[in-house]
Amino acid sequence: MSFDDYRGIWVFIEVKDGRVAPVSLELLGAGRQLADKRKTELAGVLIGDQVKPLADTVFTYGADVLYVYDAPIFKHYRTETYMKALLACTEKYKPEIILYGATSTGKDLASAVATDLPTGLTADTTILDVEEDTGLLLASRPAFGGNIMATILCKKYRPQMATVRPKVMKALSPVPGRVGRLIEEAIPLEEEDVRTKVLDIVRATTAKVRIDEADVIVAGGKGMGSPGGFQLIHQLAAVLGAAVGASRDVVEAGWIEHHHQVGQTGLTVTPKVYFAIGISGAIQHIVGMQNSGLIIAINKDPSAAIFQSCHYGIVGDAFEIVPLLIGQFQATLDALAGEGTEPLTGSAADSDWETDTAEEADDAAQTVNGVEVAMADSDGSANKLESGGAGTPAESAASLEAAGAGAPVDSAASLEAAGTGASVSSAPSLEAAESAAAAKAAAQSAEPTDPSPAADSGTKTDAIGGKEDEHVRKI
């Protein structure tokens, strides 16, 4: 086998309900980066019936070439038909890398193709890279129960193949009008040659929450203590119009169903806002939510690992903090309703919150359900989460403000640490809030300020994308 004969990065384009599946668009984004690094073409392989009109979508999301197998025999996914089409295409054009979504279809097809070629297959990949000179695919995934990241190589065979979990990679912004080469292919396959038949498709009738499609998720862990305590998670989610997520321990304890589980053995999610309440922050959970736009953690253990991976951390008892949040959010929603303003909840917030990561949101402030969120600058110097006005302490104990050194608040009844980072032992009154604000102003006027990024000496990002503990604003 001469590796020089194999060129190009391929993505299997999965079709769901007549549309390109989101995971395929995400893989086109990842594939585009690999192809550019290798200075080669990015191609898609599209199989189905009446699917050729989807070519425009594939090209606008980054593909240079699209191989299409469009025939009635491919109307429904069957391992045998799709495998024969992809094998024929692979043997004819010889790609160096093929990427599949780690869906039920992608996993089934990839394993069948890998067995027949034969070649290696890395499953449930979370990080992709390629050696520029050799073309060796570096496919990394959690291993040994998620305690380490293993990079898996396929040195002796081509093409190299990997499945990638949905929501792990990021799709490129579509480029309207972008075009590519459409190559139509066919194989001599008749219906009587296929051993399996699709008799009927029965859609699931039970309504299940799709947390992987939610914009706001409130997730709880074993720190909630009991099924009764976990009801606080449901209550906060109901007020925010959010989906409910859970850690593996909670699911295994029977507190909630498996389709709510976030993490390595659950779902990978990328909401705009993710609340992690009573969750310790094990790597198995982190890999499932680390790409969320804004992560807010609540845990009474100041050394909990979750604080290494969040944008904002609240140190305290969730049973005191969450009711305060519920009360404040509900009061804000009631006020908005009284003014005739429609609150932003769920997907309704799409048009007003386009920030994907804190790093991309420099100097940007957005409002979600009446709570102003000022995203961190790249130097980590402007993290705050507050209700009650721009830059002023709120008049409620449910105010969330991290304004100074970001020191943890020792009392769960208080959610405000102003200026000096001093501990507060009880819910602040209006007078206490004003006093704290004055102390903050005095401290700021007495100290020189350096607006340059160098003023923050060492904001770092670890392997899973979380900021170092000293730069997390623990409220």
Considering only 132-146, 256-270, 387-401, which range has the smallest mean pLDDT?
387-401
Q: Is the dihedral of CA 235, 240, 243, 244 positive or negative?
A: negative
Q: Domain spanning 211-474: which CATH class is it, in words?
A: alpha beta
Q: pLDDT-based confidence at 163, cuts 50/70/90? A: very high
How many other β-carbons are positioned within 10 Å of the β-carbon of residue 210?
11
Q: Taking residues 38-48, report their average pLDDT.
A: 95
Task: Select from 293, 292, 295, 296 the least CA-distant residue to 316.
Answer: 296
* Highest mean pLDDT of the ranges 175-189, 405-419, 427-441, 455-469: 175-189
Q: Taking residues 60-82, report their average pLDDT.
A: 94
pLDDT of 159 > 50? The answer is yes
Considering only 87-101, 175-189, 405-419, which range has the smallest mean pLDDT?
405-419
Q: What is the Cα Rg of the chain in Å?
A: 25
Whole-number Å distance between alpha carbons of 301 and 468:
16
Mean pLDDT, all residues of the chain: 75
Between 195 and 340, whose confidence is greater?
195
Q: DSSP state, 320?
A: H
* The two domains 3-193 and 211-474 share their CATH topology (first three levels equal): yes
pLDDT of 421 > 90? The answer is no
Angle (CA) 272-273-276 rounded to 5° is 140
> To which residue do tokens 């009154």 refer?
429
Between 396 and 328, whose confidence is greater?
328
Whole-number Å distance between alpha carbons of 265 and 169:
18
* pLDDT score at 208: 61
* Highest mean pLDDT of the ranges 17-31, 279-293, 430-444: 17-31
CA dihedral 148, 31, 211, 402 (to 10 degrees): 70
Q: Is the dihedral of CA 366, 368, 371, 374 positive or negative?
A: negative
Q: Taking residues 102-124, report their average pLDDT.
A: 92
Whole-number Å distance between alpha carbons of 221 and 276:
8
* pLDDT score at 149: 83
* pLDDT score at 254: 92
Whole-number Å distance between alpha carbons of 297 and 285:
13
Q: DSSP state, 328?
A: H
* pLDDT score at 21: 93
CATH number for the segment(s) 3-193: 3.40.50.620
* pLDDT score at 340: 62
Tokens of 83: 């495998």
Is there a contact between 369 and 240 (Cβ–Cβ < 8 Å)? yes
Is there a contact between 262 and 289 (Cβ–Cβ < 8 Å)? yes
Is there a contact between 326 and 306 (Cβ–Cβ < 8 Å)? no
* pLDDT score at 154: 92
Task: Select from 350, 413, 405 the least CA-distant residue to 383.
Answer: 405
* pLDDT score at 348: 36
Q: What share of the chain is helix, strand, coil (3-state, %, to 5)?
A: 30, 20, 45
Q: List, for residues 206-217, the tens digit of each pLDDT value.
A: 556 678 888 999
Tokens of 209: 């929450």
Q: Is the dihedral of CA 225, 226, 231, 234 positive or negative?
A: positive
Q: DSSP state, 428?
A: -
Using alpha carbons, list the distances in angstroms from residue 443 to 81, 96, 239, 427, 436: 71, 60, 37, 22, 10
pLDDT of 233 > 80? The answer is yes
pLDDT of 156 > 70? The answer is yes
Q: pLDDT-based confidence at 320, cuts 50/70/90? A: very high
Does residue 453 have a cis peptide bond before it, meaning omega lies within 30 degrees of 0? no
Q: pLDDT-based confidence at 314, cuts 50/70/90? A: very high
User: What is the reported pTM?
Assistant: 0.61
Whole-number Å distance between alpha carbons of 343 and 240:
9
Task: Select from 272, 229, 264 the least CA-distant residue to 123.
Answer: 264
Whole-number Å distance between alpha carbons of 396 and 394:
5
Tokens of 427: 């819910």
Residue-range domain boundaries for the chain: 3-193, 211-474
Residue 378's contacts (CB-CB under 8 Å, 6 or more residues apart) are 359, 362, 453, 459
In total, the chain counts a number of residues equal to 475
Between 321 and 404, whose confidence is greater?
321
pLDDT of 259 > 70? The answer is yes
Q: Identify residue 221 by its one-letter amino acid code.
A: G
